Structure 1
Amino acid sequence: MWWDMLATLGGIACLVGMVWVLLFMKKDKSAFYQVDRDQILALLKRVQSGDAHDMEWRTFLSVRISADEFLEHIRARCEQLDDHYRGTSRGRILNRAGREKLAELVAELEAYDHKTF
């Protein structure tokens, strides 16, 4: 009899422990891409100079920046530069007109008084 009671209490303790682990120890393990002003500025300058990789440019364009509205606005405007996209031929992602428009965005970003998160 006491053995059955001990087994039942042990089972309940294990069940409570598992529920506790699932409820309180669960962390969001999903992957995310988060950039700040300095990282974006460095990327845009690399695109201007022809040192950026197409994959990092495409990644930047494809992921919305939810932490900062201004940085998201810059990203969206960079997305519009796709009309000037030329791949990675001769090391340049954007044609000359695209790089000129990108220079305007770089100037705006350099002047941006950003917050630190």
Structure 2
Amino acid sequence: MNTAEIVNAYYELANAGKWDAWCDLFAPNQVMDEQLAGHIETQDTLRDMMRGFPDMYASFENRPRHIVVDGDTAAVVSHIHAVTHKGATIDANVANYFETKNGQITYMANFHDTVPFAVLNDK
């Protein structure tokens, strides 16, 4: 897959809740700087983290609004709309930055307002 295909698959799989396949998009030695979860290294660590993701949300959507691809890098502006199992709604605009190599994501960082996610602390 090229960078555009990887980025498109990232959002398609996330929105379908296919977290194992989503994790497969990342290289085994991937590095992620995630605004809420912090610094995450390796695909195995990411996969372990994502196993708990369905327990956090009754529904989750991350819809791209603008995608820019430049070779092995991409930037995406998107909007997250999620609902917790208790019915709290989360709406946040997000910017994601991707680096890819050999058909996988090697580095990713995301940036968003953390305030809408405070409802996750009210589990």
Structures share fold, TM-score greater than 0.5: no
TM-score by length of 1: 0.30
Higher percent of residues as helix: 1
Higher percent of residues as strand: 2
